[in-house]
Amino acid sequence: MAKTGHFLHNSAHAVNILANTTYATARSHDITNLGTAGGGILNRAYYLRTLYVKLDTIAGPSATPTLTVRLTRDSAGNDTVVGDVTASISLGVTTSSEGAVTVAIDFVYSHNSVGGALPDNNLFLFWKLDQGTAQVRRIELTTEE
């Protein structure tokens, strides 16, 4: 029997990657696997719903620290899907060197091929802080089909 209704998927990743004030491929992460070039689920549309990023070891932040994130189709960060979104870091209540951001994306995305070229099947998250440094420890992307 065919699936009907809405299906939520969560791509969760435990990481330990530096965050500072610039984008760089060394400070990014492959966060999803939307299909495979061998006949998986390419050309299917998804809602990109929410993105959660957990940080710790926050050092030298501004008075109201922010994290800017970007989703791309390529590991080089050049084929942008969701452009720069800046969110305030919600710092811990008892530990101000820990915090998180949650971003509502709500974007319909179809990971398809263009002109016969198969795309990389993943999305890549890039990030940067407005000031200081931190460690990105957890990334979650929720999608819906």
Task: Supply the pLDDT for residue 43.
Answer: 57
Residue 114 Cα distances to 14, 42, 43, 64, 120, angstroms: 32, 11, 10, 41, 12
**CB within 8 A of 90, min separation 6: which ones?**
99, 100, 101
Residue 56 Cα distances to 28, 32, 97, 113, 144, angstroms: 16, 23, 6, 37, 29
Average pLDDT for residues 45-74, to the nearest whole number? 91
Task: Supply the pLDDT for residue 63.
Answer: 85
Residue bearing the bigger pLDDT, 109 or 70: 70
Task: Supply the pLDDT for residue 37.
Answer: 45
Residue 113 has pLDDT above 60, yes or no: no
Average pLDDT for residues 114-118, to the nearest whole number? 55
Residue 36 has pLDDT above 50, yes or no: no
Distance CA 69, CA 53 (A): 9
